[in-house]
A and B are shown apart, each in its own frame.
Chain A
Amino acid sequence: MLTIGEKQFNSRLFLGTGKYPDFDMQKAAVDTSETDVLTFSVRRMNIFEPSQPNFLEKLDVEKYSLLPNTAGAKTAEEAVRTAKLANASGLCDMIKVEVIGCDKTLLPDPVETLKATEELVKEGYTVLTYTSDDVVLAQRLEEAGAHAVMPGASPIGSGQGIINAFNLSLIIEQLTVPIIVDAGIGSPKDVVTAMELGADGILLNTAVSAAAEPVKMAEAMKLAVESGRLGYEAGRIPKKRYATASSPMEGISV
């Protein structure tokens, strides 16, 4: 069971809802993943085409905890406004703070991210903050009251996997709030690695939605989260330089 703020989740896999080939495949992938938390974005409606299908129509939103993001925001002020817009839907009080500071890498702006987190915690939201793998910044976010800190494995949508396992492990070790590794995951291997490091959960989108078979990948990611978590809880053996026989050395019949 994963607890974030006052919310509890059975699944440690959070799934994004962007870039699926179609809504039916998205629904199938979401169902297969057995996720409890869906992320999505807030955008202007095209009022001249109001009947265009909306992704929420296919999903039973009552079944999930909705985690809107503030993607598109470049300042704390914009992020806070987006959070308030999402909250006005009456469907959610969680918010993923995402304030981008660089268009090319989509890396977060640390100063604005911290400011937005402080403000939204004060406003009473359950705040999950997307951040880089900077250890001290992660600590500052926790001090600001973030209910979960979500360091990126690598740049958003890059599929590069975990490029700084050392920093991630320090963040996991030094913070007490849940750590959700968010962004850059490419394959189930990356998920298992993050979970074995002790991450409390994984947030991914493109690795599933842009896979050749999204539904199959959703299942693979679900199993990877479970496998990595079990491995972490079971406690891996220490690495040794030389071999240790698994079979008894006594009674060898030669």
Chain B
Amino acid sequence: MQLLINGNMTEIPDSIKTIADVKQHFQISNPVVIVEHNGEILEKDSHAVQEIANGDKIEFVQFVGGG
């Protein structure tokens, strides 16, 4: 399956079903990661139930230093 993650078309195994699975696949452990799925910003507790499909657009963002 292919996903457009942070602007890059990325191949992931078909066994991956949810946003939480994608996070686990890329070993994203940062407690503050915000996810936008097909233009919709997700509530933190919905990552485990939000299902993904081929061609979906996902943005993973975080906080970085700034003024």
Contact with B61, one of A19, A43, A51, A91 (Cβ below 8 angstroms): A43
Tell me, rounded to whole Å, the shortest Cβ–Cβ distance linking A214 to chain B.
13
| B13 in contact (CB, < 8 A) | no
On chain A, the residues within 8 Å of B35 by CB distance are: 88
| A254 in contact (CB, < 8 A) | no
In Å, the complex CA distance between A157 and B66 comes to 11
When the two chains form their complex, are residues B60 and A88 in contact, meaning their CB atoms are under 8 A apart?
Answer: no
| B1 in contact (CB, < 8 A) | no
| A159 in contact (CB, < 8 A) | no
When the two chains form their complex, are residues B63 and A68 in contact, meaning their CB atoms are under 8 A apart?
Answer: yes
Given contacts A43-B61, A85-B61, A88-B44, contact A50 B67 (CB under 8 A): no
On chain B, the residues within 8 Å of A84 by CB distance are: 41
On chain B, the residues within 8 Å of A156 by CB distance are: 67
On chain A, the residues within 8 Å of B44 by CB distance are: 88-90
Question: Using an 8 Å CB-CB cutoff, how does the interface string of A214-246 with B read, 1 for contact, 0 for none?
Answer: 000000000000000000000000000000000
| A54 in contact (CB, < 8 A) | yes
Given contacts A41-B63, A45-B62, contact A88 B30 (CB under 8 A): no
| A20 in contact (CB, < 8 A) | yes
In Å, the complex CA distance between A126 and B29 comes to 29
Tell me, rounded to whole Å, the shortest Cβ–Cβ distance linking A228 to chain B.
20
| B6 in contact (CB, < 8 A) | yes
Given contacts A44-B59, A45-B6, contact A51 B27 (CB under 8 A): yes
Tell me, rounded to whole Å, the shortest Cβ–Cβ distance linking A179 to chain B.
18
Contact with A43, one of B29, B36, B64 (Cβ below 8 angstroms): B64
On chain B, the residues within 8 Å of A157 by CB distance are: 67
Given contacts A88-B34, A89-B32, A89-B34, contact A44 B61 (CB under 8 A): yes
Contact with B65, one of A26, A48, A51, A89 (Cβ below 8 angstroms): A26
When the two chains form their complex, are residues B66 and A41 in contact, meaning their CB atoms are under 8 A apart?
Answer: yes
Query: In this complex, what residue of A is CB-closest to B45?
Result: A90
Question: Using an 8 Å CB-CB cutoff, how does the interface string of B24-67 with A read, 1 for contact, 0 for none?
Answer: 00111110111110000111100000000000000111111111
When the two chains form their complex, are residues B67 and A55 in contact, meaning their CB atoms are under 8 A apart?
Answer: no
| B5 in contact (CB, < 8 A) | yes
Contact with A47, one of B34, B60, B65 (Cβ below 8 angstroms): B60
In the complex, which residues 16-59 of chain A have their Cβ closer than 8 Å to any Cβ of chain B? 16-20, 26, 39-45, 47-48, 50-51, 54-56
When the two chains form their complex, are residues B66 and A89 in contact, meaning their CB atoms are under 8 A apart?
Answer: no
When the two chains form their complex, are residues B66 and A40 in contact, meaning their CB atoms are under 8 A apart?
Answer: yes
6 closest cross-chain pairs (CB), A and B: A16-B67, A41-B66, A205-B67, A17-B65, A18-B65, A45-B60
A-B residue pairs in contact (CB < 8 Å), sample of 12: A40-B66, A42-B62, A43-B64, A45-B30, A45-B61, A51-B27, A54-B62, A54-B63, A66-B63, A69-B67, A71-B67, A86-B63
